[in-house]
A = this chain, B = another copy of it.
Amino acid sequence: MEITRQVNLGMIGGGTVGSGVYHAVQQNADLMAARLGIKINVVKVAVKAFDERRPYPIDPKVMVLDWQEVVNDPNVHIVTELVGGTGIAKTMILAALKLGKPVVTANKALISAHGPELFATAQKYGTNLYYEASVAGGIPIIKVVRESLVGNHFDSIYGIVNGTCNYILTRMKREGADYADVLKDAQRLGYAEAEPSLDVDGHDAAHKTGILASLAHGFWVDHHEIHTEGIRGITKLDIEFAAKLGYTIKLLGIVKRVAPAKATKGKGKRAAGPRIQVSVYPTLVPDSHVIASVNDVFNAVFVRGDIVGDTLYYGRGAGKDATASAVLSDLADAALDLRHDTANRVPPFVAHETKGSVLPIEETVSRYYVRLSVADRAGVIAKVAAILSTAGISIASIIQPEGHEGETVPLILMLHAAPYASLAKALKAIGKLPSVKAEPAMLRVEDFS
């Protein structure tokens, strides 16, 4: 394919993100042409319906209803898939790749679930698949991890990668409000879906965290192996107590390299490769840490490399415009790669680690915040302490809020680092104590050490 001064773009999807990309190209294609020497020109946009509601208008002359018209048009050099989901989107991307056309996508669910198959297809047909927009929207975290920090082992990655959850947690803290009330308001304002589970249960964050973990560690992380907890269980009480202790609660996607496990009896055959924790859960982070000041719908990814040390990348994690910026960056790379015939210069994924594995959540080690609802405070502390001691878990501090004598009252425990398996067992025993009146609430505490 000869690309010199112009590249023709065929778009699939003309909804929120699609029209955002279309609009951004109209607005800044000349600027990009001045910088790159290649003008991006939209020749076709496949839409669900011509009169679909979209935030930016699309020229009716380029709209079509059949996505195959876009992919198969010999005049189309690059294809964007901005449809989303793991169904037809996969068919669309595979069709374009099989024609040797590079594809740019923002589809985190699809990459997370079917990345290796898509990458293999791109390679087989001598083209590339670009997905900067799939993680953390406008934050260029894919390129940062893959190119800018290529000289680093990734000791840890902590990401606020779901704007909906961060918005809800920010407002709960700021207003002392309940989860359910803020969620309702977020839905009204369009920051949360009517069916919010993809966001609030942590699944969207898990898709993104898995992609980052895979890129950072060189083996594809199956998204079923990612331990995922959402924010539904967070109460305003927890947010208040965390604040009193100097912490802010954030939903974090966490990727940590842990020391290789020692060979255990009977498992001698399995070569010990690098083990990484990959999980998503709400976490107490110290107010003094820069990630605690990432508020509202903003995303941020904290990356610790063995050479670079601590770094952080912050921006809008979603929305038509921020996502469009990431798509434009990929389009620039795709255009340059077409011009220079370098589709394999930076492949979509390099599986360079054959022995890596994901650490089961039971084996992960963390500090913990535990909130109990107790009837008889004086009596229960000794019993709780005994259970924890038996489990080998030390108590760092106990908070007993004032008031409410005789009633059921909260009791907060901050615990030193312990494996989750030990904690879970201890919590089960604690939950069975007669004076403990509700299931213990547990949150992990991260000090970034």
Contacts and interface: CB of A to CB of B under 8 A. Distances in A.
A151 B340 contact: no
Interface string A321-355: 11011101101110010001010011000101100
A312 B138 CA distance: 11
Contacts of A316: 308-311
B313 A308 contact: no
Given A148-B140, A314-B312, A218 B305 contact: no
B315 A314 contact: no
Interface stretch (A25-33, A175-183, A275-283): A25-33
A140 B150 contact: no
Given A24-B307, A328-B307, A150 B35 contact: yes
B312 A153 contact: no
4 closest cross-chain pairs (CB), A and B: A151-B328, A140-B148, A308-B325, A311-B315
A429 interface: no
A151 B352 contact: no
B311 A139 contact: yes
A315 B315 contact: no
15 contacts: A35-B150, A132-B148, A138-B311, A143-B148, A147-B329, A147-B333, A150-B328, A150-B329, A151-B325, A308-B326, A309-B322, A310-B316, A312-B313, A312-B315, A342-B345
A329 B326 CA distance: 20
Given A132-B148, A314-B314, A28 B306 contact: yes
B332 A340 contact: no
Contacts of A310: 298, 315-316
A144 interface: yes
Contacts of A390: none
Nearest to A142: B148
B143 A147 contact: yes
A16 interface: no
A263 interface: no
Interface residues of A, number: 58
Nearest to A25: B151
Copies of this chain in its oligomeric complex: 2
Nearest to A316: B309
Given A35-B350, A290-B290, A290-B314, A152 B28 contact: yes
A380 B406 CA distance: 62
Interface string A137-165: 01110011001111111000000000000
A144 B139 CA distance: 9
Nearest to A320: B307
Contacts of A62: none
Contacts of A293: 290, 293
A34 B144 contact: no
Given A290-B290, A322-B308, A332 B150 contact: yes
Nearest to A328: B151
A294 interface: yes
Contacts of A314: 290, 311-314
Given A151-B24, A151-B28, A352-B34, A308 B332 contact: no
Contacts of A313: 311-314
A319 B346 CA distance: 28
Given A147-B332, A312-B314, 10 more contacts: A34-B350, A35-B150, A35-B350, A138-B308, A140-B149, A308-B325, A309-B319, A313-B314, A314-B314, A336-B346
A326 B32 CA distance: 25
A272 interface: no
A148 to B, nearest CB: 3
Contacts of A294: 290
A237 interface: no
Nearest to A339: B345
A424 interface: no
A240 to B, nearest CB: 20
A139 B313 CA distance: 9
Most buried by B among A315, A333, A336: A315
A198 interface: no
Nearest to A309: B316
